[in-house]
Amino acid sequence: MDQQSDSWQQMMDAVQRFHDKHDFKNTGGEELNYRVALMAEELGEISSCVTKGKSKHLLSEEVADLLILLMGTGIAADFDLNQAFWKKMNKLMQRESRMVNGRIRVSEFRDME
């Protein structure tokens, strides 16, 4: 598939075709515990790229793998990831940031009283 597009729907359609091609729905590929394990594996590969100073090309490939898994999880769990993204992004934009241990954090800070 050489066609490149920034269309979210085209990307989701490509992931759906991948799921259909390998019959993920009927062969365990859409089982959520399995998908979480695959995402953890991809995070490990991303970590390895960063900590071992591997090329940006390898890093981008591993991040793309994680994105495809995340998109497929939306398919497997039957939710609209695009809609979930914008809902969460709007929520995040309302949050304050703090420096924590010398790094910026954006969170729902719950101060202990």
Q: Could you list the residue range(s) of the whole structural domain that residue 16 is in?
A: 8-80
The 10s digit of each residue's pLDDT in 38-61 is 999 999 999 999 999 989 999 999
Q: Longest Cα pair distance anywhere in the chain, in angstroms?
A: 56
What digits encode the pLDDT tens for the residues 76-97? 999 999 999 999 999 999 999 9
The better pLDDT of the pair 47, 112 is held by 47
Within the chain, how many helices (H) and strands (E) appear?
A: 5, 2
Residue 72, in any domain of the structure: yes
Give the closest residue to 32 by CA, choosing from 79, 64, 84, 65: 79
Residue 48 domain-assigned? yes
Number of domains in the chain: 1
Q: Is 24 a member of any domain?
A: yes
CATH number of the domain that 75 lies in? 1.10.287
**Amino acid present at 88:** K
pTM flag (> 0.75): yes
- The answer to whether residue 56 is domain-embedded is yes
- 58 belongs to a structural domain: yes
92 within some domain: no
Is residue 96 domain-resident?
Answer: no
pLDDT the model gives residue 113: 45
Residue 76, strand partner residues: none
Q: Is residue 86 part of a domain?
A: no
The encoded tokens of residue 55 equal 């090329």
